[in-house]
Amino acid sequence: MGMSVAQIEMPDEVLAILGTTKQQLSQKLKELTALKLVQEGKISSGKAAELMGISRMESIEVLAKNNIPFFRQTPDELTEDIAVAKEMMQK
Note the pLDDT tens digit of each residue in 74-87: 777 778 878 888 88
The average confidence (pLDDT) of the chain is: 88
Residue by residue, DSSP assigns the chain as -----------HHHHHHHT--TTTHHHHHHHHHHHHHHHTTSS-HHHHHHHHTS-HHHHHHHHHHTT--S----HHHHHHHHHHHHHHHH-
pLDDT > 70: what percent of the chain?
97
Contacts with 69 (C-beta within 8 Å, 6 or more apart), sequence order: 63
User: Would you say the pTM of this structure is higher than 0.85?
Assistant: no
Mean pLDDT of 7-15: 91
Q: Report the C-alpha gap between 59 and 64 in whole angstroms.
A: 9
